[in-house]
Structures are given as C-alpha cells and as structure tokens.
A and B are shown apart, each in its own frame.
Chain A
Amino acid sequence: MGIVQWATSPLGQHVPIHIAWFLIWVALIAGMAFLIVHVIYMRFFAKEKEFAPDSEMFDRAQLPARVPRHSLTARLFHWVMAVAMLTLLFTAFLPKVGVPMDWVEYHWIAGVVLTISILFHIVHASFFLDFWSIWPDRTDIQDAWNRVQRFFGKPAPAPRKFAKYPLENKLYHGTVMFTGLAVIVTGIFMMFRVRTIFFPRNPYLFGDMTWGLMYVLHGLAGAGFITLTIVHVYFAIRPEKLPITAGMLVGTMSREFYLKEHDPSRWAIKNVNQPQPGTSDGD
C-alpha cells in the first residue's frame, strides 16, 4: 500500500494521480497523537519555565497595562486566512471520507481568498512590520539547545525570555509557509483543470506525469495541513497560551504576561507612553 495512487495513462505511462486517501486518516491520527503526547508531557514531565534575568534594566512603569501585539490589519489577515484554510480542508477532505457535497467551487474560491491574503501578508510583513521577528535567530537556537540540556539534567544556563515569538512559533510559521506555498502554487495550476472565472481551462498545460506529481504534492501538503491545523488549534486553546490567543483576538496582551515571557530588549514596545492597540512595531 503506497502513499501515492498510480494509474496507466492512455499512452501507457505509469503516472501518479493523487495521494492514497488513507493519508487523510494518517494526518488526522498524527495530529491527535501529537496532542495526546504533548498533554502527557505537560502533565507529567514538563518543568516550570525558567528564564534568565532580563539582560537590561527596564522601566516597567513605562509599559501600558495592555501591551500591543497584533495590529487590526494583522488580525484580520489571520482570521481571513483561518476561515479560508478551514474551508479548504473541509471541502477537500470531507467528500473523500464519505460526506458527499458540491465542493469544487467552494474549494477554489477559498483557495483564491487564501492566495490573495497570503500575498497581502507577504507585502505587509515585508514592508510594514518587523519582517525578521518571525524568523529564528542565533539566540533562539542557543536557548533551544540550553533548554534541551536542562531537560536532561545537564548543566546549562537558563534560556533568555522570548522575543515577540517563541522558537516553536517561528518553526511552526516556517512549516506552514513552505506547506502553504506548496498547496498554493500547485492549486493555482490545478485551477486550469476546472472552469473558473480567471483563465480558460487548459488540461494540456502539462503532461500526465507533471500533472500527477502536482496533484500528489497538493494532496501531501493538504493532508499535512490537517495535522498542522490540529496542532495549531490545540496550542491556541492550551491554558498557558491563552494570553497569546487572546492577543490575536483583541490585539493586546497583559503587561504581566509580557514581562513574564518576553524580553523587552528582544521585543521592544514603542510609544509606551501613548499605548495604542496594534501599534507594535513587531506585528
């Protein structure tokens, strides 16, 4: 039983046509398994978070009670993307697991919404936000290594507090970015196989082998998003992460949470005397 479904083309070529649909269940089970393992880890093995003292003296009184984290634009992007992604997942996979529905049009429309929102995000993040805040830096790597050593009882300095995003968050973003690019690029080409309002249908755009590989990549990335979405929703509702989740709703987080988890020298809040939700430079 392979992970790719093969067929013989009219020209006698052995070509891939799509992923084997059992991978939907594999992705679902993988997501649930991660969730269960993480719950057990957090309940029985995880130690209290320890951070090194802040590296610089900081005037806490200057911080507003609510620290701005995500601008309204950034939040709108996130929720538009979330709705598009959930629509894509449900319309793609429910029919495959026995829930018949008229899905194709909803699927490509959601795909177009996702693509436009991602393009907007790229421009917004590149030119209007702190582009590098979501990428792992040297401190993240050093602290991650220190955390691993300390978990196994080896002597290592306490890690520093996080910048705007913890390393896990940055790695998740990177994974979603590459997976998302895979589904979007293949999805745009696959729109040539159906009738849309954008361009004339052209099933001969590629040969059978290229089309097949495109469908397989689209399917693998799509199934991957099942796991990624489960993981994302799970972390969003974990008690210790709720202040971050709330930040994606209201745009701010409490001063106490900010000072407890984040290093002001790595994530500086500007205009602290006149706090305006959504004006953080690091959105």
Chain B
Amino acid sequence: MAVIRDVMPAFQLLQPTSIADAQSLLAQQGTDGMVLAGGMDAFDWLKDRIRKPKTVIDLSGVEEMRGIRAVAGGGLEIGAMTTLTEVVNDPLVRQQYSLLAQAASLVASPQIRNQGTLGGNVSQDTRCWYYRAGWPCYRAGGNICYADTPVGRNREHAILHAERCVAVNPSDTAPALIALDADFVIRTGKGERVIPAEDYFVGPDIDITRMNILKPGDLLTSIRIPATWAGAQFFFEKVRDRNVWDFPLLNVASAIKLSGNTIQDIRIVVNAAAARPLRLKSIESAVRGRTREASTGEMAGKLAVEGAVPLQFNAYKIPLMRNLVKRSITGVEEASWA
C-alpha cells in the first residue's frame, strides 16, 4: 500500500499554556502523546506517517518556557522553547557564551532557526534514514540495524560507542552546552530534576530506543548555563556536506581556560560520532597543564580516535575527528599537521 506523504494523520491537538499543564497532559497521554516544540523534527515524523500519535501536545503557548534570563550569581537560564535565532541574537549569549551562539547559528537554515527551539535541537531524534523510514530496526524496537550491514548506507553513522545501533546524535547545540557545563531542567510527575547536560543523552548500550533520558510524561523546560566558563576561549566547528543547510557529519565544541599559553582547564565535546555527544574526558586530562600548541593538539587528536570502529562508508570520520579535535585545542591556524 502506498504511503501518503505530507498529509499528517489525524490527532488530538492540546495546547497548554503553563509548564504544569503541559507536564500533566504529557503524563496523562503517556506513550500516546507527542511533544511539539518548534516542529522541525516532529512534523517529519507526522508527515511521513511513521509516527501516528493519538495526541500532540503543542508547547508554543507555554510562555514560561521562552526567553533568556540572567541568573543571580552569574550564568543564564534559557527556556527550552526559545528559538535558535533568539539564542544566536541574544547579547548576553554572544558576549559570554559565544560558543553556544556560534553552534546555534550553524543549525540548518535561517528559516529553521527562526522556528526551531533550543530544547527541540538538543532533544531531536537521529537522522538515520533506515530508522526514519519506519523500518523495524533496533531503535524502532526491532532486531536489526540496517545501516550496519555490508551494503548499508552508513556514511553519516557512528564510529564510536556503536552498540547494535550505529545512528548518531545530530544536534549542534548539544556539544556546545556540554562544553559550557550546562544543566538541563526537567519537569517530571515527581517534580523538577536538574541534571548535567552530558547525562541528558543516552547511548544504545543503555537504551537503544531513546536518544535522551526523557520518559513519557517528562518535559525539558529550560537549560541553565553556569558562569564557570563565561568568557573562556571557545571553539566550535561543524563539518557538513552542504554548508548552507545540513546536519553535521561531525562537530566539535571546546571551552578552554588559559594561564599564559598553558591550558589550565578545558572541556571538549564531539557530536555525530556516536549516538550521544561525547565529552572527551581523557583528552581533557591529557592536555590539562600542557602548552597550547600544535603538538598538544596533535596528541589529543590521535588519542581522541582510539577505539574508533569505522563502518563500510564512514572511515573518513576518523581523520576528520582527529583533525577537528586538534583544531579545537590549537585553533584553525595552528592546526596544520606536521
């Protein structure tokens, strides 16, 4: 039977106006409900008729989830429904956390950034086309990964931490937020939970059907960025097939505190290499206390790809990641390989 594309299946639309109402509705609907933030990910699922939720809970009317607020004592709180354009244009973000502004500015196209939200960008599902085409793969509850077969199209897929499923997380803002040591605020039926950004994401080894820890009934309400890394030296680079509008083949975000030219502290995060953004803690430890120079970056790049397992068509990601990690430490100019 032919699949009708672009015509969404019928569903009940609920439009709460407060976080409490939204969470309550999500809890009531359970697995029958679908959250709609900016709709940039959700509408694909609906129009392709791969997901047919009974209810869609549209968060666009929840004003408390919008906006960027300075927090007493330093830092920012960004509502999950704040659009990516608002994040990019916010003076405080640009001044103190330009890493996030840069990452957000590289998401998709201007139109999508006008509509897409920060919460949606970090919570979006993977782009693996086998999965998104509705095939019964591991991530969809089945017993096979169609991308990890001898003829599977896996150019964009994982080189690290693949566990049966080789899909990757496509978010650009997620690595930046992890590098900034952000916390995610989640409203659940039991109250509010605040968790470090890196713990928000889940790999297939832990749960193969989810990209993050949100369970039915949970709602990401805001993201808090502490003052810890405000004004640090930042680096963000995204490599994609089409520079005007595409998901990352790989991206890297780093925040560095220098003492002279010595790396005092650092956080490096890579995304689209695995099913969750990877904070490279061993690299951070290895370069902390070292001079910020080409040899340090080179060493970090080589360490970063240890254990990488390429698939049939994505071996290029290994040198790409090696180089991106190097550049994230030394900067683009210093990063030419000896």
Q: Are A100 and B202 in contact, CB atoms less than 8 angstroms apart? A: yes
Q: Which residues of chain A are within 8 angstroms of B163 by Cβ–Cβ distance?
A: 102, 104
B144 to A193, Cβ gap below 8 A?
Answer: yes
Q: Which residues of A contact B205 (CB under 8 A)?
A: 102-104
Chain A residue contacts of B260, Cβ below 8 A: none
Task: Check if B143 sits within 8 Å of A212, measured CB to CB.
Answer: yes
> Is the beta-carbon distance between B148 and A203 smaller than 8 angstroms?
yes
Q: Is the CB of A204 within 8 A of B143?
A: no
Is B141 an interface residue when CB atoms closer than 8 A count as contact?
yes
In the bound complex, how far is the Cα of B205 from the Cα of A194, in angstroms? 12
B192 contacts A by Cβ under 8 Å: no
Given contact pairs A8-B136, A9-B136, A204-B149, A102 touches B206 in the complex (Cβ within 8 A): yes
B307 at the interface (CB under 8 A from A): no
**Which of the residues A18, A100, A193, A204 comes within 8 Å of B206, measured between beta carbons?**
A100
Are the CB atoms of A7 and B206 closer together than 8 Å? no
Contact with A along B128-150 (1 / 0, CB 8 A): 00000001100011111110111
A17 within 8 A of B: yes
B207 interface residue (CB < 8 Å to A): yes
Chain A proximity of B146: nearest CB distance (Å): 7
Check: B52 CB closer than 8 A to any chain A CB: no
Please determine whether A7 and B136 come into contact, CB atoms closer than 8 angstroms.
yes
User: In the bound complex, what is the Cα–Cα distance between A15 and B143 (angstroms)?
Assistant: 11
B47 is an interface residue with CB less than 8 A from chain A:
no
Contact between A17 and B206, CB atoms less than 8 A apart: no
Asked whether any CB of chain B lies closer than 8 Å to the CB of A215, the reply is yes
Are A203's CB and B202's CB within 8 A? Answer: no
Measured CB to CB, the closest approach of chain A to B167, in angstroms, equals: 16
Residues of A within 8 A of B148 (CB): 201, 203
- B141 is contacted by which of A5, A9, A100 (Cβ under 8 Å)? A5
Q: Which bucket holds chain A's interface residue count?
A: 20 to 34
- B164 on the A face (CB < 8 A): yes
A201 to B141, CA, bound (A): 20
Report whether A193 and B202 are in contact in the complex, using a CB–CB cutoff of 8 Å: no
Q: Give the shortest distance, in Å, between B70 (CB) and chain A (any CB).
A: 36
Which chain A residues lie closer than 8 Å to B150 at the CB level?
204
Is A101 an interface residue when CB atoms closer than 8 A count as contact?
yes
The reply to whether A104 and B164 form a contact with Cβ atoms under 8 Å apart is yes
User: Is A211 interfacial (CB-CB < 8 Å)?
Assistant: yes
A95 at the interface (CB under 8 A from B): yes
Chain B hits for A15, CB < 8 A: 136
- State in angstroms the CA–CA spacing of A102 and B207 once bound together: 8
Over the window 176-220 of chain A, the binary record of Cβ atoms lying under 8 Å from chain B Cβ atoms (1 yes, 0 no) is 000000000000000001100000010110001001100100000
**Closest Cβ of chain A: how far from B33's Cβ, in Å?**
18
Residue of A nearest to B146 (CB): A10
Give chain A residues whose Cβ lies under 8 Å from the Cβ of B142: 7, 17-18
Note all chain A residues with C-beta closer than 8 A to B206.
100-102
**Complex formed: what's the CA distance from A170 to B150 in Å?**
47
CB-CB contacts below 8 Å: A1-60 with B: 5, 7-10, 15, 17-18
Query: Does B136 contact A17, Cβ atoms closer than 8 Å?
Result: yes
- Contact across chains for A17 and B207 when beta carbons are under 8 A apart: no
Q: State A66–B150 Cα separation when bound (angstroms).
A: 61
30 A-B contacts, Cβ less than 8 Å apart?
A7-B136, A7-B140, A9-B135, A10-B135, A10-B146, A17-B141, A17-B142, A17-B143, A95-B207, A100-B202, A100-B206, A100-B207, A102-B163, A102-B205, A102-B206, A103-B205, A104-B163, A104-B205, A193-B143, A193-B144, A193-B164, A201-B148, A203-B144, A203-B145, A203-B148, A204-B150, A208-B144, A211-B143, A212-B143, A215-B143
Chain B residues with a Cβ under 8 A of chain A: 135-136, 140-146, 148-150, 163-164, 202, 205-207
Please name 16 further chain A to chain B contacts, defined as beta carbons within 8 Å, in addition to the given A102-B206, A104-B205, A215-B143, sorted by A numbering.
Answer: A7-B140, A7-B141, A7-B142, A9-B136, A10-B135, A15-B136, A17-B141, A17-B143, A95-B207, A100-B202, A100-B207, A103-B205, A104-B163, A194-B164, A203-B148, A211-B144
5 A-B pairs with least C-beta separation: A7-B136, A102-B205, A100-B206, A17-B142, A100-B207
